[in-house]
Amino acid sequence: MDVKVCRSQLAEYGRRVLMVSVNTESRPRGRRRYAAYILAWGVVAGATAAALTQLSTSEALLLLGLPDPGPLTLYGLPALTGLGEVSAIVMVGSLLLATVLVPPQRSGVLDVDGYLAVRTAGFAAMVWAVCAALLVPLSLSDSSGQSLSVVFADPGPFLSAVADLDVPRAWAWTTVLSIVVAISCRMTLRYRWTPILLVLAVGALMPRALSGHSASGGSHDIATNSLVFHLVAAALWMGGLVALMLHVRRGGDHMDVAVRRFSNVALWAFVIMAASGIINAAVRVPLASLLTGTYGLLLLTKVAALILVGLAGWRQRRTAVKALQTDPHDRREFMRLAVTEIVVLALTIGIAVALGRTPPPAPTSRSTPSAVEEKLGYTLDGPPTFARLAFDWRFDLFFGTAAVLLGVCYLLGVRRLHRRGGQRWPWGRTASWLTGCIVLVIATSSGIGRFAPAVFSVHIAAITALAFVVPMALTLGAPLTLTRSVLEARDKAAEIPGIRHWLHDLHRSALVRFCTRPTIAWILLIAGFYGYYLGGWYESMSGSHVVHVLANGYFLISGFLFFWTLTGVDPTPGPAPTMLTRLLLISSALCAYVGFAFVLFNADSPLAVQYFTSLQRGWIDDLASDQQLGALVSATIAFLAFTSAALGAYTLGRAKNHPGDATTSTLPPRSAPLTAG
């Protein structure tokens, strides 16, 4: 029986491959021309970067005190970087096209348009991987001031330095991630894998974003966060435009839907890119330096080019999109504007690469930064008093922005629900959701978030709030139920999936089904504390801003899964646990966390002694007492959160037994599936 099943599956797989291949050959798309287009755009970007780098090469070498590594490194590094970044943008944009802009077949197999887009992404990812691999020795040559002949003559010491230098290590990770994306694209035929490929492609940009000018210097936390936003938004905007142009050249279908959707994506991507670029420049470049020096000149040139492309995009939104909606085969106006935009974008990428090779202007004040400022990117004026925790704010671009957007979108959803059909939404759920958003902002952007990387007691209190208080409040707001009630089918045909279908697929995915099993959600939340703090991760990576952000995100997500499974109103993919199961898991989680706090309180030595000592704060010298205080505060927060969760689970159990309750009569039961509708 197993052999027959395998044979039938292989036959079905072969039939799908043959069907896609036949459909591809039956339409005059010129599927191999994309390689020439990618290489041509990459050559334009690389040549621009290499030419502009000459303006700042001598200045950079003088500031760094390094000898000239030779013309092959000086010009080859920016040229390959430009070619690689164009390939990375095409990779992301092509996967965006296959995931969001064009529909799959009814069977879930990629249509011809999606299949060709994925294959284009695979080729672009391989070019990106080759460029990144070549940039490892080039960046070693550039960092050491030695020519490539010296690097390859005795590669041992240079290879060992890859793990110690940020830029070569970033290019090595980029190589690995890009190869994974390229191989995965060659193996993908079903639509459900394309969102994962898109996430992997965006992840391949992260090593580059986390190295360079933004990762060092003052305010490097804000600079790094803003650069991540900037690169992701730029890749989605520029890459989507390139993918659409290739889609037109291949004679693709659904152009009206694809352009309409991309127009919305491009608008938000451009806004995010502009805002993050302004923030990144503001924290790194004094305003007076914009009109003097090479860095300011290149920055203003890049801004002018992006404004020009933005105006072309606005013109495209006004004319090309309307023309395609009227006649999907009228593509002349779109192609005319798209070609102009892409040429300017290739030049912009070259300018951006040259800008990354140019040292930013030196600060006007020459004061020596303190140890705290050097490690955190900002100063702390004293110990964490109540006034400083309450009023000394530093907005977190990741979690602060997420909290604001979540709150605004929720309120807009409630407003739309009331206006559309007069449906009543319980005010308690709105209050609970907004409470979670407010606590998220306070825990990450107030004085608590400012002091968290430097004071353990503040850090563990903030993490506990992110893991317990914020998720519990958010899940009680029933966001999935509200989303299902608000969203309408906006696509012209049922076979074209939209937001509601994507949320349905995510809700029913194997990963979500696995993570929302009660025991798995329990393990993900509680084991995270024991593994991260008692397993040595926190002690070894305390000074890393990236790890700090990832830890906050992990505990926030694991807490959301835990409380969604046990106290949330929204339906989970699996069967809802009984009230007794909920109460047992909540009680055991509280006991396990109290045990964790007890270990912290009675530890023989404090965590991360070397890190906190290196900060040279001048206050809170007794690290053991600070850790004990943090254990007590976090245990108190956990007790209050889990007690409230137990009451919520009990109330939810009673509501299930009394379906006529006025507070839930207008909403679907918790066990109802979140259908695509």
pLDDT of 32 higher than 70: no
Q: How far apart are CA 549 and CA 444, in angstroms?
A: 10
- Banded model confidence at residue 58, pLDDT cuts 50, 70, 90: low
- Residue 293 pLDDT > 70: no
User: What CA–CA distance (Å, rounded) separates 55 from 48?
Assistant: 12
Query: Whole-angstrom Cα distance, residue 502 to residue 140?
Result: 43
Cα 46 from Cα 468, distance rounded (Å):
49
Question: At residue 633, does pLDDT exceed 90?
Answer: yes
- Coil, helix or strand at residue 178: helix
CA diameter of the chain: 80
Selected residue with higher pLDDT from 631 and 242: 631
The predicted-structure confidence for 432-460, as pLDDT tens digits, reads as follows: 999 999 999 999 999 999 999 999 999 99
CA distance 484 to 500: 7
User: Could you tell me which of 440, 238, 489 has the C-alpha nearest to residue 347?
Assistant: 238
Sequence-separated (6 or more) residues with CB below 8 Å from residue 202: 92, 232, 235
Q: 133, 127, 206, 123: which is closest to 176 by C-alpha? A: 133
The set of residues, in sequence order, having a beta carbon less than 8 Å from that of 520 and lying 6+ positions away, is 514
Cβ(174)–Cβ(163) under 8 Å? no
Residues facing residue 109 across a β-bridge? 190
Residue 563 has pLDDT above 50, yes or no: yes
* Rounded-to-integer distance, Cα 283 and Cα 275, Å: 13
Cβ distance 121 to 90 under 8 Å?
Answer: yes
Instruction: Identify the pLDDT of residue 653.
Output: 58
For 190, the 3-state DSSP assignment is: strand
User: What is the DSSP-derived secondary structure letter of residue 166?
Assistant: H
For the chain, the residue count is 677
Which of residues 546 and 39 earns the better pLDDT score?
A: 546
- Nearest 5°: phi and psi at 109? -80, 145
Give the tokens for residue 16.
């799908």
Q: Say how far residue 567 (Cα) sits from the centre of its chain.
A: 28
pLDDT band of residue 164 (cuts 50, 70, 90) is confident
Integer angstrom CA distances of residue 98 from 27, 84, 120, 197: 18, 21, 10, 10
Q: How confident is the model at residue 218 (pLDDT cuts 50, 70, 90)?
A: low
What's the mean per-residue pLDDT of the chain?
A: 80
Q: Check residue 496 and give its pLDDT.
A: 64
Work out the percent of the chain whose per-residue pLDDT is above 90. Answer: 28
The burial class, CB within 10 Å (0-12 / 13-18 / 19+), for 171 is buried
Q: Residues 28-34: contacts with CB within 8 Å, 24+ apart?
A: 28/251, 29/116, 29/249, 29/250, 29/251, 29/252, 30/249, 30/250, 31/116, 31/119, 31/250, 33/249, 34/90, 34/120, 34/123, 34/246
Q: Are 259 and 317 in contact (CB under 8 A)?
A: no
- Residue with the larger pLDDT of the pair 325 and 247: 247
pLDDT tens digit sequence for 646-666? 887 766 655 554 443 333 333
Question: Is pLDDT above 60 for 500?
Answer: yes
Q: How far apart are CA 60 and CA 213, in angstroms?
A: 12
Which structure tokens are listed for 298? 């290149």
> Residues 395, 445: contact at Cβ < 8 Å?
yes
Q: How much is the pLDDT for 27?
A: 43
pLDDT of residue 517: 92
The yes-or-no verdict on residue 676 having pLDDT over 70 is no
Question: pLDDT class for 51, splitting at 50, 70, 90?
Answer: confident
Residue 326, classified by CB atoms within 10 Å of its CB into exposed (0-12), middle (13-18) or buried (19+), is exposed
Of 17-26, 31-40, 195-204, 582-591, the least confident: 17-26
pLDDT tens per residue across span 65-123: 556 677 788 778 888 888 888 899 999 999 999 988 888 888 888 888 889 899 999 99
Q: What is the pLDDT of residue 121?
A: 92
Per residue in 427-436, pLDDT tens? 889 999 999 9
What's the token pair of residue 452?
């968290």
H or E segment at 574? none
Radius of gyration of the chain (CA): 27
Q: What is the reported pLDDT for 403? A: 95
Nearest partner of 255 among 318, 331, 144, judged by Cα:
331
- Predicted confidence band at 54 (pLDDT cuts at 50, 70, 90)? low
